[in-house]
Each structure stands twice: as structure tokens, then as C-alpha cells.
């Protein structure tokens, strides 16, 4: 079966994990520190930290933006579950907005329709790694959280997505462009907020161990300074070790992802039944996290099943959140609902061979 998402590990990844194991220390340590330092240099900001998942990064980001309880957070419905869960877990109210049919991204106009006197923040998602048009969204004047889970290699005028607003998050889970098993990253514009998050990722402990001892005249290094209730959100040093190597290999892997994405763009250019994704602008870079096509609704499910029978896995990212009963949404979001009926993500990752990519394109074109 050809998988729809995938990650690639080289001998260097394996060696890094083995080295970590041989050091007999797998908890947070020098590998996480090294990755954080490299990622900070890449972002051009010190205010970045690794955590154990993108989902927890979303939770921490909303928590430390310190929004008023009961405030509304406007977010796309066409995104991953964690985005809405993070809102609810912070005592805030998710307000789902639509996305553009062709970019699958939110726009300032679509967000503006949802603004009320309770609006506390806006969450945007750079879908597939195509940068959201941030300037008009920032101009709306609300705190903005950027979900760059798909967008680790996406830039606008040389600046990485994730640092345009007040907070940004990344995911390094097992299917992302940097894949470490489970892992995430968080950035804040303001230093105090990242410091607060660092305390929270370790059970809300401000000082610990020897740090505590050096601040304590009695030298009792076993005493902690617990500042806030929170669970543990620390990444392990195995994940840190993988993250360092995955970041190093990112340019090579991105070249492969782009080559496949370009191949599909050409292969489907003359297939009337396929709407291909929008390319990024000349001043932007794309992360090519996933390849999303739109096909006639009447044929989408049959196409997915046909591909499955041919050994090709496809999926839909995402089943719109506002259609899930738990969120009790009464919103009508025509574009998200249309994408739910017509959309299909087909395989895109650096493990695919040229023959597999060709087979996927030919199978889709022949079927349609
Ligand atoms: C858009 C988006 N945001 C957040 C997340 C959560 O990341 P994680 O899986 O690392 O918790 C994901 C994961 O797929 C995602 O796709």
C-alpha cells in the first residue's frame, strides 16, 4: 500500500537515536537544546521552545496569550481537531470561519464576518504550507496565533511563517516535514510568554533541582517552586536527536516534496475534473506538506475507493470541525462543506519513487 503521508530516516537519524540511547539519558537534554538553538537561528528569534506535540503547543499558546475567559477565538473549520480543543480547554469559545475554496486558507474577509464584541483572538492555519495572507489579518487588530504545523519551510519575503503574529506553533509528529515521532514547537513575540510556557511545560515548576538549590540558602535541591497547575509537556532527548538530523535534512527532503508536487501540478493541469492546489507567490516558499485535489463530489468517494483497490491510500484533511456535534456549531460554511464533499489528499512524501508518483497520477487521470 502506498501511504498518503510518510517520513524518511537515514543512517544519520538512526545513529543520532543510538547515540542518545548510548548516553544513557533520554529525558530532555542537550539534543533538545541543540534543536531549539538551531530553530531559533532559523526564525531569527530567541522566543522558541520545543514541546511534546503541536497540540500541546496550541494549548500553551492560547493559555499564555492570556485571553479573557469566555472570549471567542475565530479559527478555520477546515483544520485539525486540536485547534478547537485547545480553545475549549482554555475556557474560550471556538467560532468557526470558512476558508477560501482554492487556497484552503482563511482570509481577512472571511474572518471579518465572524468578528463580534466577544472576539478575543484569531487562529490561522497555513494549509499544506501555503502561506496565509497575514497582513490584512494582522490589521484587524486582534491577537493572532499562527498554526504552522504544515508550514515549517514556508516563508514570506524570507521570514518564516509562525512569527508574523503574536504566537506560532509547529508540529513535528510522525507525518510532518520534520518527523520525530511526537513533538511540537512554540514561539511568542513577547519574551515573558515563552518564559511562562517554559515553566508550564515542566508541570508548572518555576525552579527545579539544582536551580532551586542555588536560589535557596539551605541548599535543598529537592525542593521545587510550583507556580501554576499544568501537566508535563516535555519532549524527550530521543525526539531532540531526531529533530536535529531532520532539520539538517529538511532542504533535501523539501526538494523531493517539491519535485513530486510539481509533477502532480503538470500531470493534472489538463484534467478538467481535477482542481489543483494554488502555488505560492514568487516572494513566498511553500512546505508541500500535502497535495490536495478537488474532484466532482459525485465521484470523490468512488475515486478514493478505486485508488485504495489499486494499493494507493488517500484521505481527506480535514473533515470540517463545525460538522462535529461536540462543538454545537450552527455555522454554515459553504466552502468548507464543499471541500468536505470534493477534497482528497493524495500521497506526497519523500519516500515515494518516481514510478509510484506516476502510477498515482495515471490512476487518477484514467479514472476521471
Ligand atoms: C493543522 C494542525 N495543527 C495542529 C496539529 C497538532 O500537531 P500534533 O500532531 O503534533 O499534536 C496538527 C497535526 O496534524 C495539524 O495538522
Q: Which of helix, strand or coil describes residue 180? A: coil
Please give the DSSP secondary-structure letter assigned to residue 131.
P
> Cα–Cα distance between 236 and 234 in angstroms, integer?
6
pLDDT at 223: 79
Q: Which of helix, strand or coil describes residue 169? A: strand
Specify whether the CB–CB gap between 237 and 31 falls below 8 A. yes
CATH 3.30.70.141 correct for 11-247: no
Using only the alpha carbons of the chain, give its radius of gyration. Answer: 21
> Cα–Cα distance between 44 and 38 in angstroms, integer?
10
Specify whether the CB–CB gap between 330 and 276 falls below 8 A. no
Say yes or no: CB of residue 134 within 6 Å of ligand 1: no
pLDDT by residue for the chain (368 residues), tens digit each?
Answer: 999 999 999 999 999 999 999 999 999 999 999 999 999 999 999 999 999 999 999 999 999 999 999 999 999 999 999 999 999 999 999 999 999 999 999 999 999 999 999 999 999 999 999 999 999 999 999 999 999 999 999 999 999 999 999 999 999 999 999 999 999 999 999 999 999 999 999 999 986 555 655 665 566 777 778 899 999 999 999 999 999 999 999 999 999 999 999 999 999 999 999 999 999 999 999 999 999 999 999 999 999 999 999 999 999 999 999 999 999 999 999 999 999 999 999 999 999 999 999 999 999 999 99
Task: Give, using CA atoms, the residue closest to atom 7 of ligand 1.
Answer: 54
Terminal Cα-to-Cα distance of the chain (whole angstroms): 21
pLDDT at 225: 82
> Cα–Cα distance between 257 and 4 in angstroms, integer?
13
* 176 Cα–ligand 1 center, Å: 9
Say yes or no: CB of residue 54 within 6 Å of ligand 1: yes
Cβ burial 251-287 (10 Å sphere, 16+ → b, else e): eebbebbbebbebbeebbeeeeebbbbbebeeebbbb
Say yes or no: CB of residue 82 within 6 Å of ligand 1: yes
183 CA closest ligand 1 atom index: 10
> Cα–Cα distance between 281 and 219 in angstroms, integer?
58
pTM of the model: 0.97
* 219 Cα–ligand 1 center, Å: 42
Report the length, in residues, of the chain. 368
CB-based contacts of 82, cutoff 8 Å, min separation 6: 54, 55, 58
For 78, other C-beta atoms within 10 Å of its C-beta total 28
Q: Which of 170, 111, 107 is nearest to 133 (CA)?
A: 107
Task: Give, using CA atoms, the residue closest to atom 10 of ligand 1.
Answer: 54
For 334, other C-beta atoms within 10 Å of its C-beta total 9
Please give the DSSP secondary-structure letter assigned to residue 159.
E
124, β-bridge pairs? 146
Q: Which three cell numbers stand for residue 296?
A: 466532482
Q: Which of 162, 132, 209, 174 is nearest to 49 (CA)?
A: 162
pLDDT at 32: 98
User: Domain locations in the chain?
Assistant: 11-247, 250-367
The strands making up 155-156's β-sheet, listed across from edge to edge, are 159-160, 155-156, 284-285
- Fold assignment, 250-367: 3.90.1150
> Cα–Cα distance between 105 and 348 in angstroms, integer?
19
Q: Which three cell numbers stand for residue 85?
A: 480543543
Sign of CA dihedral 277, 254, 6, 27: negative
Say yes or no: CB of residue 53 within 6 Å of ligand 1: yes
56 CA closest ligand 1 atom index: 11
Please give the DSSP secondary-structure letter assigned to residue 227.
-
Q: Which three cell numbers stand for residue 319?
A: 473533515
Specify whether the CB–CB gap between 30 and 179 falls below 8 A. no
Relative to beta strand 291-294, strand 159-160 is: unpaired
CB-based contacts of 80, cutoff 8 Å, min separation 6: 125, 149, 317, 318
Amino acid at each position: 500500500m502506498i501511504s498518503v503521508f510518510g517520513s524518511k530516516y537515514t543512517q544519520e537519524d538512526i545513529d543520532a537515536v543510538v547515540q542518545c540511547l548510548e548516553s544513557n539519558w533520554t529525558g530532555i537534554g542537550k539534543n533538545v537544546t541543540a534543536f531549539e538553538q538551531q530553530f531559533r537561528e532559523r526564525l531569527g528569534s530567541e522566543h522558541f521552545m520545543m514541546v511534546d506535540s503541536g497540540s500541546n503547543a496550541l494549548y500553551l499558546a492560547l493559555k499564555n496569550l492570556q485571553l479573557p475567559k469566555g472570549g471567542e477565538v475565530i479559527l478555520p473549520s477546515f483544520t485539525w481537531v486540536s485547534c478547537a480543543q485547545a480553545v475549549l480547554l482554555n475556557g474560550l469559545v471556538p467560532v468557526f470561519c470558512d476558508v477560501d475554496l482554492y487556497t484552503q486558507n482563511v482570509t481577512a474577509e472571511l474572518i471579518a464576518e465572524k468578528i463580534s464584541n466577544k472576539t478575543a483572538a484569531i487562529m490561522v492555519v497555513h494549509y499544506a504550507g501555503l502561506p496565509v495572507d497575514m497582513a490584512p489579518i494582522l490589521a484587524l487588530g486582534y491577537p493572532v496565533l499562527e498554526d504552522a504545523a504544515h508550514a515549517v519551510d514556508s516563508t514570506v519575503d524570507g521570514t518564516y511563517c509562525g512569527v508574523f503574529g503574536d504566537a506560532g506553533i509547529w508540529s513535528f509528529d510522525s507525518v510532518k516535514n520534520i518527523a520525530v515521532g511526537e513533538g511540537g514547537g512554540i514561539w511568542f513575540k513577547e519574551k515573558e510568554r515563552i518564559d511562562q510556557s517554559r515553566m508550564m511545560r515542566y508541570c508548572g515548576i518555576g525552579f527545579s533541582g539544582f536551580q532551586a538549590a542555588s536560589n535557596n540558602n539551605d541548599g535543598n535541591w529537592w525542593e521545587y517552586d510550583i507556580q501554576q497547575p499544568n501537566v508535563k509537556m516535555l519532549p524527550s532527548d530521543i525526539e531532540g536527536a531526531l529533530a536535529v538530523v531532520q532539520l539538517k535534512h529538511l532542504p533535501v527532503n523539501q526538494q523531493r516534496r517539491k519535485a513530486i508536487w510539481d509533477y502532480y501540478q503538470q500531470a493534472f493541469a489538463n484534467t478538467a475534473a481535477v482542481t489543483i492546489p494554488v502555488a505560492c507567490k514568487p516572494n513566498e516558499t511553500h512546505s508541500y506538506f500535502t497535495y490536495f485535489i478537488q474532484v466532482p463530489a459525485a465521484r470523490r468517494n468512488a475515486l478514493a475507493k478505486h485508488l485504495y483497490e489499486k494499493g494507493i491510500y488517500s484521505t481527506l484533511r480535514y473533515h470540517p470541525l463545525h460538522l462535529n456535534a461536540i462543538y454545537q456549531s450552527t455555522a454554515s460554511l459553504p466552502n468548507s462543506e464543499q471541500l468536505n464533499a470534493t477534497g482528497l489528499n493524495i500521497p506526497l512524501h519523500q519516500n515515494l519513487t518516481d514510478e509510484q508518483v506516476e502510477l498515482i497520477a495515471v490512476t487518477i487521470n484514467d479514472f476521471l
